[in-house]
Structure 1
Amino acid sequence: MTLESDLALANRLADAAGAAIRPFFRADFAREDKADASPVTEADRAAEMAIREILESERPDEGIIGEEYGATRESAARQWVLDPIDGTTSFIAGRPTFGTLIALMQDGWPLLGAIDQPISGERWIGAVGGTTQFGDSPAATRRCGGLDSATVATTSPHCFNQEEGEAFLRLVAKCHANQRQGPIYGGDCYNYGLLASGHIDIVVEAGLALHDFAALIPVVEAAGGQMCDWEGNPLTAESDGRVIALGDSARLDDVLEALHEG
């Protein structure tokens, strides 16, 4: 398989997921809570099934790891990692800040990723060693001269445990001490797309599963940024779910110091 064919397939998978999601947006749909108390809707399941049907037809030897339907061919070297709706709570609330996440991994390392917002029609797709495209144009992160001028985002402070929350607030204090507004809350995967396009400087989160972050890595890094765990290590299938995304990797030591100085 070539990178071009993989990217073309990822775009078609995102198209199929979006077509499955849009009829349910701000409409009536069935929902329930999973064992971990997170919500799932028939839109989540319809989108993942639409992706899986294409993969089973066109890539029958490659693995699939999906949030809603689990793992297929787990021993395959190449695996597609799917989160049909990242930000289901936002989807349920009618907020178009959720997204479909599609990643292709090779031996546990992300090769390409897509963030697709099917309501606004925005899509970021990037490949390791290549570029990130936002629509028809390349996306690029922005430089950040220091934490005191950085814009920080996270989906929700309630996703942190007490220790993680205190670490995040130390970072916020350094970034927003001289700013009238605080950090950006909400956004889920959409924040990482905004970071890749140079609108946000730092995203910090915890408690993420592989399907939550695998697609984000190629998007951010091919746009010039960096993603790692809270120790500064690269993210892989074995990571603990605590992630940092930086538009400017020069700020990594500053962020790590803020998170760990307590």
Structure 2
Amino acid sequence: MSIAPSITIQETSGITFLNVDNTFAIAQISLYGGHVLSYIPKSDNIERLWLSPHAHMSGEKPIRGGIPICWPWFSDDHGREKGELPAHGFLRSQVWQLKSSEDTDKGTVVLLTPTFSRADGFEYDCEVILEIIVGESLTVNLSTRNTGIVPFTFNTAFHSYFEVPDINHIELRGLQGSYRDKTDSFSIKDTPEPYRFNQETDRIHDHAAKEISLFNKDKKLTQIHSSGHDSVVVWNPWQSAASISDMDAFGFKQMICVETAITSGKEVLPDECHILTQVIS
């Protein structure tokens, strides 16, 4: 298989990285986890994604930062006791295969497939493909096709970490309605207006907003377009970051997770395909 001219392959500490450099942007993709680690548009040369300086980069644990893939369950919603199965599923902790890559007039298109999509906790026949398009914007499409003879239900998310100058000056725009507050026993609360941050935040917004913007002091930083989702998860550990081994104690000041997610379950019938999409610009 030929590799697109815009891609160079790098091997470090047992992980294979795809480094993309084309007319539109620079990006880095780890085959461990099928994980986009960096995206810098050449229009402004500003990094959109946050990667922890203490992230495990040995292929032994999931990588903290970038765009981790949660599948086929979100968090510990797998129907077993907490800790019995890996949090956020088993795609983010396996080596993915490069299926194809090509340079087009819209950017570099990369197709990745996991080594396996059937394991303890999800024993159904399906095909999973991650399409990454590095162009004027970064597009990630995760398709889940039911190749079996019975329906199945799954949850999934792009657990995207966005880089910000200072979380104290960040405002999130585009969400409305109520959310479930995981820091307060899943209490139902109204979405704040303006939506700013001054404490640990872990919220599941059932309003599946298609467009969300991150602002820094009224200057737009990042635009996030989503489809195929039923919710948006917003997370920042705040001072709890000090207890996270692969995160700096003050790392919470430079990041915010805005996750395009399915948290209430999506049924996929035989021969049916579901696509989760997040577009970052």
TM-score by length of 2: 0.28
Larger strand proportion of the pair? 2
TM-score by length of 1: 0.29
Larger helix proportion of the pair? 1
